[in-house]
Chain A
Amino acid sequence: MIKLFASTALVALLAIPAHAVQPAEGETLADTQTYTYWLLDAIKSLDPAKNTDVEGSDALRQLFEGLMIEDAQGNMIPGMAESHDVSDDGLTYTFHLRDANWSNGRPVTAGDFVYAWQRVVTPETASEYAWYMELMNIQNASEIIAGELAPDQLGVRAVDDKTLEVKLTQATPYFLNTLSHTTAYPVPQAVVEEHGDGWVQPGNLVGNGAFTLASHNLGVDIVFEKNPEYWDADNVLMQTVRGVTVNDNNVALTRYQAGELDRVQIPAGQYPRLEEESPEEATSVPYGCSYAYVFNLSEKGPEVLKDQRVREAMALSLNRDVIVDQILQGGQEPAYTWVHWAINGFAAPEGNMGEMTAEERMSRAKELLAEAGYGPDNPVQLELQYNTDDSHRLLAIAAQQFWRPLGIEIELNNVEWKVHTDRMQNQDFEVARYAWCADYNEASTFLDWFRTDGYNSGKWSNEEYDRLLAEAATAEDTAPLYQQAEAILDEENPAVFVYHYAKVDMINTAIKGLPRENLLNTWYAKDLYRVAE
C-alpha cells in the first residue's frame, strides 16, 4: 500500500498535471480502491447522444471525456483538448487535442468529435438533446435538426487528426462551459456502426474516459473499472466504481448505514437528526436549482393574475423561512431571485423583496391586495397544481396556509408528472410548481427561462428583459445586465420564487476527493480515492 502511495506520489511529482489526485498528509490509502454510489432510478441511456438525465450523466462522465472537464470547484480545465484558440470575433474556436486513446487502444481524433456532434443533430438519431447543439450556437445546428441541411454542414471540422475547428453563429460567452456536457462527448464511429443501438452494452462500449463499463444490470447496478488506456491513468487511484439503484430514498439510507453505499441523499426533513448523530457524514452544499410557483399569464390564464399587485402580494406573503427551516430542513436557502444565489458572479438586485423584514412584506402584501380590490371578504380564488411528491405536497399545503389569511383561497391540484408538464406546456393551469436546474454555472441558464421565446410556460413577456439578455449574450461584463434583468423579475413577479436547492447527502468519511464546492455537483471518479479508516 505504501508502495502504491509512493509511486503515485512520484508520478504526480514528475508529471505535475494540474489536477493530480493524491492523498493529503496523514492519510493512508485503503487496500481496495472502491466507491459505491446511489442511483435513485435505472440509467435510461449510456449513449452520449441520447442521455437526458442526471443518472446517465454521472455514468457517462466516467466512461467518456469531452474537450473540457471540470475541477473540484466546477471550473473548466482541459480534457481531451490540451489547449484552444478563439478568433477575435469569438465565432471560431480551434481545439488542439492531446494524445489520448479509446479504451480499445485506437487514438482519439478530431474526427471522433465531428462524427459525434453530427450524429446528435442528425434527425434519424432522434436525440432528445439535439437542442443542446443549438444552445452551443454551433453553425447550422438548427437547420440540420429541421432537415433543411445535411449533417455534414454542421459548423465543426477536423482540420487534422489533432485539430478541431468549431464555428458558431454568434459569440457565446458560456461556450467553453458547454463542452463538459455529455451531449458534446466524442463517440467511436466504428463501434457505433458495428453494433447499432447495442453499442453501449457491456463488452461493446468503447470510451475515452478514466473508466470502462464492466457490467450493467438495468435497474440493479452498474460497475466501472479503471481504464488502463486513459491518458491520465497514472494519476487515477480509484479502481472500481459501482452505482447501485435503490428506488426508495429511505431504504437507500438504511443501506448506507449498513455500509452498502458510500454516498446517499438524505430524505427530506432528516438532515437535522442525521447531522446531530453523524456530523462528519451529513453534508449540505448549495446545488444549482431553483424552486418556484409559476403564474399563468397567457390568454388562457385567470384574469386576476394579470394584476401585478396580486402577483406581488402572493410573492411577498409566502413565508420562505418557514419552508426552509421547518419543512425542508436541509440547508436550502429562501429564494427571492430566480438565479440561484451561489451562481458564479451573480449578485441579487438591490432593494429586492428579500431585503424587507417579514412584517414589512406582510403588510405590503395586504396593502397591495386591498388596492387591487381583494381581501378576506372578497378572496382571490386560484388553483395550485403540483406533481405527485411528498415535499411538493407539504410545500403546497404551507403556501395555502400562508395565503389564506390575506384572502387568497388556494385549491390544491395534485397530478402525475406527465400530466403536470403537459398542462404547463399547454398553459392549462393557474399557478404551477416548477423547478429549474442550471445547465452551466452562469446566470443566463436561469434567466433565459423567462425570455419571451424561452421555456417560460407562464408566457410572461417583457421587452426590456429580452433586450437585456440579448445584450448580455455578447457583453464583456454581464453581471450588471443580469442584475437588471433580475430586478425586472422582482418588480413584475411572473412567479413566486420559493427556495434555492442544497445537495444534502450522507458521505462515507473514507471517500475523499468528492467536489464540495461545485454548484452543479458534477463529479469524476478519477478524482476520488478511499482512505483506510
Chain B
Amino acid sequence: MFAFVLRRLAVAIPTLLLLIVFSFTLMHLAPGGPFTGERALPPQVLANLEARYGLNDPLWLQIWNYLVGIVVHFDFGPSFVYPDRTVNQLIAAGFPVTLTYGALSFAAAVIFGVSLGVVAAIRHNSWTDYLAVGVSIGAQVLPNFVMAPLLVLVFTLWYGLLPGGGWSFNDPSFWIMPVIALATSYMASIARITRSSMLEVLGSNHIRTARAKGMPERRVILRHALKPAMLPVISYLGPVFVSMITGSVVIDIYFSTGGIGKAFVDSALNRDYAVMMGVTILVGALTILFNLLVDVLYAWIDPKIRY
C-alpha cells in the first residue's frame, strides 16, 4: 500500500508538469492578450507592459521562468489584470471562501444524498421510494443558475432573512444560500447512484445469507450492505469534492462571494495568464490528490482490492 502511494505520487509530478506546459501553450494560442481592450494600446505602452511581465520572451523561456518561480520561491507570478496583487494573494483570498462553502455543500450533499438513496432502496417501489426519486429528479433538473436568483428572491427580498450575497467568514448567514444552491444537484446525483448501487447489493448473495442467519435488518443494511454499496458513490465523490471546493462560477457570480470559481473563468476570458495557470495547477494538484485518496479508500472498504 505504502509503495502504491509513493508510486502514484511520483507519477503526479510529471502529470502536473505536462498539465502546466499544455495549458500554458494553449492559453498563449488563444487570440488576444491580457492587454487587448477596446482601445488598442500604443505600441510603446504595450511593449513596456510586455517587458514588465516577461511576455516578450520566447514561450519556452516564459514556461521555464514560470516553473522556476514556482519550484524555487513558490511564486505563481503577478496578475496582469489585477496589477496590485500577485497570484498567490488572489488564491489566498479566494480559495478559503470556495473551500468553506464547497466543503459544507459537499457534506450536505453526501449526508442528504446517501440517506435519500438508502431509504429509497430499502423501501423499493413504495411511496417513499417514489418520493425520494421525485425529489432527486426535481433537484437535478433545477440548475443552480435558476435556483440562485430564486433563493435571493425568496430569502432576501420576500422574507428578508438572509443577505443577498457577499461573504463573511464570521457570519454563517452568508453561507446558507451558496451551500443550498451548490449542494442540491450533487445531492440528487449522489442519491440516485446510492439507490441503484444499494438495490444491486441488497439483491446479492451475502445479504441473503446474512438475512438467512436471522441477522437484524438494521445490522444487515448498515454493516453488510452500505459499505459495498458505497464503492461507486465514492469514485464519484473524489472529483466532485475537488470541483466543489474549487468553487463554482455560478455560485460566485450570483452570490458575489469573491471565490476562485469566478476568478478562474474570468482569468481565461481576460487572458490573465498567471492567474489561470495558478488555479489550473491548484485544481490539477487537488484532483490528483483526491483520486489517490479515493483509491486508498477503495482498498479500505473492499478487502478484495489490493494494490
Contact = CB atoms under 8 A, between A and B. Distances in A.
Interface of A: 42, 44-47, 50, 52, 123-128, 130-131, 134, 142, 145-147, 197-198, 200-201, 217-221, 244-248, 250-251, 254-255, 257-258, 260, 416-419, 421-423, 425, 434-436, 455, 457
B84 A47 contact: yes
B257 A220 contact: yes
A418 B85 contact: no
Contact of A218 (B37, B53, B93): B93
A418 B93 contact: no
Interface in B134-153: 148-149, 152-153
| 6 smallest beta-carbon distances between A and B, as pairs | A418-B32, A126-B52, A422-B32, A219-B258, A255-B164, A220-B258
Interface stretch (B206-214, B227-235, B262-270): B262-270
Contacts of B4: none
Interface in B184-241: none
B166 interface: yes
Contact of B83 (A44, A246, A434): A44
A380 B90 CA distance: 50
B33 to A, nearest CB: 8
Contacts of B39: 455
Interface stretch (B14-22, B59-67, B155-163, B280-288): B155-163
B150 to A, nearest CB: 10
Nearest to B50: A126
A425 B53 contact: no
21 contacts: A45-B82, A50-B83, A126-B49, A128-B35, A128-B49, A142-B44, A220-B256, A245-B256, A246-B256, A247-B253, A248-B254, A250-B149, A255-B156, A257-B157, A258-B156, A258-B160, A260-B156, A418-B271, A421-B38, A422-B32, A422-B33
Nearest to A51: B83
Contact of A134 (B42, B82, B84): B42
B292 interface: no
A416 B40 contact: no
A257 B164 CA distance: 11
Interface in B27-43: 30-33, 35-42
A240 to B, nearest CB: 16
Nearest to A416: B269
B45 A251 contact: no
Given A418-B30, A425-B36, A457-B40, A248 B253 contact: yes
Given A128-B45, A421-B38, A425-B36, A255 B84 contact: no
Given A44-B82, A455-B40, A418 B269 contact: yes
B51 A123 contact: yes
Nearest to A437: B38
A417 B156 CA distance: 33
A69 B156 CA distance: 38
Contacts of B153: 254
Contacts of B164: 246, 251, 254-255, 258, 260
A127 to B, nearest CB: 8
Given A131-B45, A218-B85, A219-B262, 7 more contacts: A44-B83, A124-B48, A147-B48, A197-B85, A254-B152, A258-B160, A425-B40
Interface string B247-280: 0000011101110001100000111000000000
- Among A145, A146, A220, A246, find the residue whose CB has the most chain B CB atoms closer than 10 A: A220
Contacts of A126: 48-49, 51-53, 83
Given A221-B166, A255-B164, A418-B271, A247 B38 contact: no
A219 B271 contact: no
Contacts, number: 148
Contacts of B42: 131, 134, 145
Contacts of B36: 418, 421-422, 425
A145 B45 contact: yes
Among B156, B165, B269, the most chain A Cβ lie within 10 Å of the Cβ of: B165
Nearest to B42: A131
Nearest to A436: B38
B108 interface: no
B99 interface: no
Contacts of A147: 44, 48
A145 B47 CA distance: 10
A258 B157 contact: yes
A142 B45 CA distance: 9
A45 B83 contact: yes
B31 A419 contact: yes
B112 interface: no
A254 B256 contact: no
A123 B269 CA distance: 26
Interface hub of B45, B52, B152 (most chain A Cβ within 10 A):
B45
Contacts of B41: 128, 131
Contact of B165 (A142, A200, A246, A250): A246
A418 B30 CA distance: 9
Nearest to B52: A126
Contacts of B48: 123-127, 130, 145, 147
B166 A130 contact: no
A198 B252 CA distance: 25
Contacts of B160: 258
B167 interface: yes
Given A220-B166, A251-B152, A197 B38 contact: no
Interface in B75-97: 78, 81-86, 90, 93-94
B156 A254 contact: yes
B270 A418 contact: yes
A417 B166 CA distance: 26
Contacts of A425: 36, 40
Nearest to B48: A123
Contact of B254 (A198, A247, A417): A247
Contacts of A422: 31-33, 36
Contacts of A198: 84
A220 B84 CA distance: 16
Residue in A52, A142, A258, A422 whose Cβ sees the most chain B Cβ within 10 Å: A258
Given A421-B32, A455-B39, A197 B83 contact: yes
Contacts of A123: 48, 51
Contacts of A416: 269
B84 A244 contact: no
Contacts of A52: 37
Given A134-B42, A197-B84, A251-B152, A219 B256 contact: yes
A218 B86 CA distance: 13
Given A218-B93, A423-B31, A455-B39, A247 B269 contact: no
Nearest to B163: A260
